[in-house]
Amino acid sequence: MDDQGDRYREGRPELVAYVLAVLTLIGLGILLTTIVLNWIVGPTLAVVLVVAYTSLCRRVMGRR
């Protein structure tokens, strides 16, 4: 189990990605309210944003 816990490590790119995702979700939430803030779009968008930003941040910060 501990091996599984150690297999995925998070660093600065992941942290930045989550911060960006949170800021985007809050911004879109205030502007679009129910279009974003519902049980289907909200969590789906959270996943999409985190994955996209993580990939972007790793590339920009030079980590694969």
Give contact residues for other proteins (rule: CB under 8 A).
1-2, 4-10, 14, 18, 21-22, 25-26, 28-30, 33-34, 36-37, 39, 42-47, 50-51, 54
Tokens representing 48? 């999409």
Nearest approach in angstroms of CB 27 to other proteins is 8
- Judged by beta carbon, residue 9 or residue 62, the one nearer other proteins is 9
Tokens representing 63? 């980590």
d(CA 46, CA 36): 10
The number of beta carbons lying within 10 Å of the beta carbon of residue 18 is: 17
Nearest approach in angstroms of CB 41 to other proteins is 9
